[in-house]
Each structure stands twice: as structure tokens, then as C-alpha cells.
Chains A and B, each alone.
Chain A
């Protein structure tokens, strides 16, 4: 990361709720624009981390810089450069059109064209008041607005919760748009499958530490993920994680020279990291993983 502009820089973070320590000496550095998937088990502190980055929670120790700002000061310029879509969100009783008219001015890079395109993709009526929309409709409206702000940093907490399958496809399609390529989009989710075709890097939090920070390409180079029967498994060599699916077995194995490079199934990797992290992390090249 040395030499790159660090948009998000966290060093030695310490934070907890009352007596429960959530983060101890946590560090994270993100400089490249891209889509980052933030994973971890329930209670691992994913949402808390997003709130610490947003300045909604104040760190106990360490240092956090987001786009050159200390988040907890909540300076206007900082807030204009970061958009956070929480899991529990609120929309005033306005329409999409009115929301954009009123609030677009807060965000210097806001694009009405991107907003209109996102609304059209999500099949939302720009003039329909939010109170008449379903939960999924409201979620889509919030995400459309968030995508249109084009802030350098976009934080999404469980963005696909409440969305149907079609809406999730639409969401993925919008994330792939070139306008989104110039910003850091950090997505915290348990729905790993929703993201595996769009994210560029996986971040996995475990027991208050960043256990894994790896590019999807690096994961594909280092791991072999698939489904096989017992005979097939025997020929795989070093199986790092396995789970039975009826007569077959889903597996994560260390990729050997000559093995085909395949896309990594994030859901399986997620489960593997939750249940047997050590072997998987050990199989990754240095710099891509840190053991907890």
C-alpha cells in the first residue's frame, strides 16, 4: 500500500461495547477504488466497523482516517464524501424525485443521470412517495440514491436484505456500472452469493481482527473450490474444508500447479473461514491473510 493514496486507513483500532471488547489492535488499509466485500460472523463487528468509519461511533484507541478526515469529527466535507446505507434505514415521506431535488446539492458529485438510470433499473416510479413503497422498494430507492451520490466512499450494510431475486440482479448490474468504478464501495453482508461476481476483494473479520484481506483473483489462484464425490476428493490432495451435500461434497482445497483457475464460491469460502479458518488462511500467499 505504500505510495498509494489511502482512502481508508485504520491502525490499532480498539473498540467495544461496555465490557465486551470487539476490536483490539485492528488495522485495515484500502486505497484502490473497487468493490470490497466485508464478511464475518454475527456479532463480529461488521456494522460497528462501518459506523466507526462513518463517525457514528467513536473509537476507544487507535487511528481512523477516511478520505483524509477523522470520521468522529463529522465535518461537513467528510460527510459530503461518504455515504452510508445502514441495515435499518429511514426515508422521509418524499418521492425519489423530491429527495434528489432537496439533497443532491449536499453531494458535489451527485449524478441525476445515474439516479434516473438506477430508478429505471429498479423499476421505481420517481414520483411515488416512499410511504406507499414496500420495504424492498424503499431499499432500492435508498440504494439508487447512494449510487448516484458518487461519493469517494460508499458503505453498504446488508444492502440486499429485503430485496427479491430480481432486485438483487439489478443491484449487481448497477454495481458493475463504470460510474461506480472510481469509488471505494465497502459492502457488509451475509449474502455472499449476491456479490461473488462483482466484488474485487474479500475482507473477513474474525475475533476482532482482519483475518483475511484478499483479492478475488488471488483467492482463485490459491484455492480450488468445487463439488466432488469421494473418488474425486481423493484426487484433490490437500482438502482444507469440506461439507457434505447429499451424495457429494463441497470442498475447498489448495490449488496445485496445473489446476484450472476457477471462480471462488464466496458462500463456501465464508463457511470455511468461519469453521476452519487456519488451513484456508495458511494456503493463501503471504500478504493476503493474517492469522488470528
Chain B
């Protein structure tokens, strides 16, 4: 079922075939990040807008969006007969193919995304910090607006580093990671399940699922929707034990990924 040498060979082949497109994907992500920075800072003229909060927003929104796109690409070959056949007929076990998908989507991509994010983020954040210092120097020196200076002084600046913001921030990031992993698993399931227009159908299915399931769970548990799905790991919703929240956040992605394995195993190609 699992043979390390064969798995490494499978990974090497995957990288040889898709490495270039993955690098392109990350490169386009960096270019989009630069555009977002330009939009936020009004063409670079208001660099102080790129505070730590803005960075966190860009990081998380970017990760959610591109993480789902990246997940949808892994088995996209199955929508083409020739490429799908190559993928399914490669001499490796279904578990090895599944494990490679999981590692690429849920482990490699967050790391690669975080590194790529910093390519634009670090200089942009340093520019933002310098702009803030310059503004404070002018306004704090009595020649500017004192309330604005006080507001600026309260905001955090400098490069945002995931998992570098203390326990509270790390819990929020873990929430994000687990949530995106669960959504990625659903996207992978969609690309395995649907034969044609897999992406579009997956999006529709995800939307329907969320529209139906979220209110239902909210009704059953009595928890508000935001508490149920956006609550942080370190603080359980009132009336629910912490274990439930942890189980929900860890169990759901695990369940979705397990279903992806079975969908891969049962995938046919006509």
C-alpha cells in the first residue's frame, strides 16, 4: 500500500510535470499581491495604509482563495482523458497518490504560499513602517494632526509573520489553516467526482452545501453561525465543551480528506 521509494518517485514525477506551472501559479500570486498593495496604498502614495492588520487580511484572503484554486488543480487532469489516464495508471497505490495530493495541497502549498507572500509583503511592510515613522515624526512633532498621530502609533507595523504573533494569533491561524484544508478537501472531492466542468460544479456544490449545512448545524447546536464556524480554538462556544470545537475543526477536514481518498479509489475514466 505504501512504499517510500515509490512514493518519492511519484513525487519526483509530479514535480517534474507540474513544478513549472506551480511556480507560475505562485508567481502570478505575487504579481496579484503587488497589485493589491498598490490598490491599498493608492498607487504606493499612502504606504502607511499597509499596516499589520492589512497584511493579515491580505494573507488570509489570499490563502483562502488561492488555496482552493491550488487544490482544484491537483486532480484537474482527470477531466481530460489522456492526462487522467496517465494519472490513474501511474504505478503507485491509490493511497500514495492520495497522500501526495494531501501533502501538496495541505502542507506544501501553505508553506510555499507563505514564502511567496513574503516576497512582496516584507518590502511593502517595511515601506509602510517607514511611512508611518515619517508621518509620526512630522505630526508627533506638533506640526500635524495629534489624534491621527496617536491612531497611527497604536497600529502595528512591520512584516507579518504567520505563527509569529503569540498564542492567540496562532490559534486564529490554525483555524484558518484547518478551515481551508477542509474546503480544499471538498474541492478535491469535487474534481474527483464531477467528470465535466468539475470546477464550476464544485463551486455550486460548495455553495449549496454551506447554505444548507451551516444554518442546519447552527439550528441543531443553538450556536450562532459565526460562533460555530469562526470561533477560535482557544475559546469554546458557550454551552459547548472545548473538545467539541476541536473535534469539529480537526474532524471535518479529516472526514473530507478521507472521502477524497475513496473518491479517488472509485474514480473511473471512460
Do A76 and B16 touch across chains, with their CB atoms under 8 A apart? Answer: no
Do A102 and B12 touch across chains, with their CB atoms under 8 A apart? Answer: yes
Do A84 and B85 touch across chains, with their CB atoms under 8 A apart? Answer: yes
Do B91 and A106 touch across chains, with their CB atoms under 8 A apart? Answer: yes
Q: When the two chains form the complex, which single residue of B20, B77, B82, B88 contacts A89, counting CB atoms closer than 8 Å? A: B82
Check: B242 CB closer than 8 A to any chain A CB.
Answer: no
Write the B80-97 contact mask toward A (1 if CB under 8 angstroms, else 0). Answer: 111101101111111010
A-B contact count (CB 8 A): 72
In the bound complex, CA of A280 to CA of B11 (Å):
53
Do B16 and A57 touch across chains, with their CB atoms under 8 A apart? Answer: no
Do A86 and B6 touch across chains, with their CB atoms under 8 A apart? Answer: no
Do B82 and A107 touch across chains, with their CB atoms under 8 A apart? Answer: no
Check: A218 CB closer than 8 A to any chain B CB.
Answer: no
Do A88 and B81 touch across chains, with their CB atoms under 8 A apart? Answer: yes
Check: A54 CB closer than 8 A to any chain B CB.
Answer: yes
Do B91 and A76 touch across chains, with their CB atoms under 8 A apart? Answer: yes
Q: Which of A161-183 contact B (CB under 8 A)?
A: none
Do B82 and A90 touch across chains, with their CB atoms under 8 A apart? Answer: yes
In the bound complex, CA of A153 to CA of B239 (Å):
62
Do A89 and B85 touch across chains, with their CB atoms under 8 A apart? Answer: yes
Q: Which of A85-113 contact B (CB under 8 A)?
A: 86, 88-90, 92-94, 98, 102-103, 105-107
Do A56 and B268 touch across chains, with their CB atoms under 8 A apart? Answer: yes
Do B16 and A51 touch across chains, with their CB atoms under 8 A apart? Answer: no
Check: B103 CB closer than 8 A to any chain A CB.
Answer: no
Do B85 and A76 touch across chains, with their CB atoms under 8 A apart? Answer: no
Q: When the two chains form the complex, which single residue of B77, B80, B96, B266 contacts A76, counting CB atoms closer than 8 Å? A: B96
Do A92 and B268 touch across chains, with their CB atoms under 8 A apart? Answer: no
Q: When the two chains form the complex, which single residue of B20, B92, B269 contacts A51, counting CB atoms closer than 8 Å? A: B269
In the bound complex, CA of A93 to CA of B24 (Å):
15
Chain A residues with Cβ under 8 A from B6's Cβ?
76, 106
Check: B226 CB closer than 8 A to any chain A CB.
Answer: no
Chain A interface size band reads 20 to 34
Write the B2-22 contact mask toward A (1 if CB under 8 angstroms, else 0). Answer: 010010010011001100100
Do B88 and A102 touch across chains, with their CB atoms under 8 A apart? Answer: no
* Shortest Cβ distance from residue B124 to the other chain A in the assembled complex, whole angstroms: 34
Instruction: Tell me the nearest residue of chain A to B82, going by C-beta.
Output: A90
* Shortest Cβ distance from residue B260 to the other chain A in the assembled complex, whole angstroms: 16
Q: Which of A53-98 contact B (CB under 8 A)?
A: 54-58, 74-77, 79-80, 83-84, 86, 88-90, 92-94, 98
- Size of B's binding interface in residues, CB under 8 A: 28
Check: B270 CB closer than 8 A to any chain A CB.
Answer: yes
Write the B27-55 contact mask toward A (1 if CB under 8 angstroms, else 0). Answer: 00000000000000000000000000000
Q: Which of B89-121 contact A (CB under 8 A)?
A: 89-94, 96
Q: When the two chains form the complex, which single residue of A57, A83, A89, A105 contacts B9, counting CB atoms closer than 8 Å? A: A105
* Shortest Cβ distance from residue B119 to the other chain A in the assembled complex, whole angstroms: 26
* Shortest Cβ distance from residue A129 to the other chain B in the assembled complex, whole angstroms: 12
Q: When the two chains form the complex, which single residue of A75, A93, A98, A106 contacts B90, counting CB atoms closer than 8 Å? A: A106
Known interface pairs A51-B270, A56-B269, A90-B80; A76-B92 also in contact (CB < 8 Å): yes
* Shortest Cβ distance from residue A81 to the other chain B in the assembled complex, whole angstroms: 8
Q: When the two chains form the complex, which single residue of A48, A90, A93, A107 contacts B86, counting CB atoms closer than 8 Å? A: A90
Do A56 and B16 touch across chains, with their CB atoms under 8 A apart? Answer: no
Q: When the two chains form the complex, which single residue of A58, A103, A106 contacts B268, counting CB atoms closer than 8 Å? A: A58
**Known pairs A56-B269, A57-B268, A86-B82. 10 more at Cβ < 8 A?**
A48-B270, A55-B88, A56-B270, A74-B94, A74-B265, A79-B89, A88-B81, A90-B83, A102-B16, A107-B91
Chain A positions within 8 Å of B, measured between CB atoms, are 17, 48, 51, 54-58, 74-77, 79-80, 83-84, 86, 88-90, 92-94, 98, 102-103, 105-107
Can you name 24 A-B pairs with beta carbons within 8 Å?
A: A48-B270, A51-B270, A56-B85, A56-B269, A58-B266, A74-B265, A76-B91, A76-B96, A79-B91, A79-B92, A80-B91, A83-B89, A84-B85, A84-B89, A88-B81, A88-B82, A88-B85, A89-B85, A90-B80, A92-B16, A92-B17, A94-B17, A102-B16, A107-B91
Chain B positions within 8 Å of A, measured between CB atoms, are 3, 6, 9, 12-13, 16-17, 20, 77, 80-83, 85-86, 88-94, 96, 265-266, 268-270
Instruction: Return the 9 tightest CB-CB contacts between A and B, nearest first.
Output: A90-B82, A79-B91, A80-B91, A92-B17, A90-B83, A106-B91, A56-B269, A76-B93, A88-B82
